[in-house]
Chain A
């Protein structure tokens, strides 16, 4: 899922390998808890599913 690119951790010195981070203008600015990140991913998946259903109904 998503893109692959480098980001600096200067603003987030506690971040380490395996962490999920929020990136803004090339810099990681916050660590996101895996559970919270999962909620967002799940919501995105739900929205995708929902719009698929809508398309089928209207199409």
Chain B
């Protein structure tokens, strides 16, 4: 194990020497972010290598107007809100699902199937599944949309907030932050879409894209492979997650996504509108689309809280540069989504980095 760490470190030292400047590597996956902090990976990297945590946590990139729609639906007597647990505490314009719990019927589910089961068990209510997440969770939503259609489960619908990773990476490089030198690509997303899907970023922007799993060794080796490429002046597509990721991905899951969703322009917190970056329920399944069933639309509003999650997600600032961080905004009293989610960058900083900074 130690030999493998040393080897990756050698690659990184080589890249630092070759480039002679700070190297910015962005991970686009909440699980990577947490693993990097929890395992102290930053401490084994050369100083010139800077890890940026990008828009990889589903909760963090969900626009506030989407949360506001969730809260609006939660107020209805005829609805049960079924949601993954990490959405519960995300603040909208006024309160969160947690603060509405006394008046709203909110159920935490571990999978989309549990949400559909709720609909079967509660025929007199409409179950709205809060479907957030990237390509990894979108197929699970597609499965229940199809099942609801096949079995005629009319009291079920999904509020699709699903997002696509590659369009966000493109938006980052072309508009928000062109100082990103390479991407450490998300492992589970790659299991679904295949590592080949990141080839577009390599071709269009000449940036190394390397897929890694979530064990610390995977992340270190992924960073080592990125460093090798940068040191040699190359930009290639790579994967160190050979145990689970293939070039073409899970084609069954891809077909299900294509069958149930259309790509649509959509809003990301902090990144604004990104072309063809979200998944909208296909017309064929419109009766299971909560946006159409309740005639609601996302209308982004200006965030006036002073929260800088948007800049954090683009890798433009570190959480500690936000004046709310660890003051008005803490995991107990989160202002922005990056502090709410256990996978959020601000939450990870708060938990793992603050003590070290204090000691300085």
Contact = CB atoms under 8 A, between A and B. Distances in A.
Interface of A: 8, 10-13, 22, 24-27, 29-30, 32-33, 36-37, 39-40, 43-44, 46-47, 50
B250 A30 contact: yes
A24 B243 contact: no
Contacts of A36: 242-244
B30 interface: no
B110 A11 contact: no
Interface of B: 1, 84, 110-114, 133, 136-137, 139-140, 143, 188, 191-192, 215-217, 242-245, 250, 252-253, 256
A27 B143 CA distance: 10
A51 to B, nearest CB: 11
A16 to B, nearest CB: 15
Contact of B110 (A10, A13, A26): A26
Given A27-B111, A29-B250, A30-B244, 18 more contacts: A8-B111, A8-B113, A8-B143, A10-B143, A11-B252, A24-B136, A24-B137, A25-B110, A25-B140, A29-B188, A29-B191, A29-B253, A30-B250, A36-B242, A39-B243, A43-B1, A43-B217, A46-B1
Greatest chain B CB density within 10 A among A10, A40, A50 is at: A10
A11 B142 CA distance: 10
Contact of A47 (B1, B143, B252): B1
Tell me if A's interface is mostly helix, strand, loop or mixed. mixed
14 contacts: A8-B143, A11-B250, A11-B256, A22-B244, A24-B136, A25-B110, A25-B111, A25-B137, A29-B191, A29-B192, A30-B245, A32-B243, A43-B217, A44-B215
Given A32-B244, A39-B243, A26 B140 contact: yes
Contacts of A26: 110-114, 140
Contacts of A43: 1, 215, 217
A22 B113 CA distance: 17
B252 A27 contact: no
Contacts of A12: 250, 252
A43 B214 CA distance: 12
Given A25-B140, A26-B140, A33 B243 contact: yes
A40 B114 CA distance: 30
A30 to B, nearest CB: 5
Contacts of A39: 243
B188 A24 contact: yes
A27 B135 CA distance: 13
B191 A22 contact: yes
A9 to B, nearest CB: 10
A33 B246 CA distance: 13
Contacts of B256: 11
Nearest to A44: B215
B120 to A, nearest CB: 15
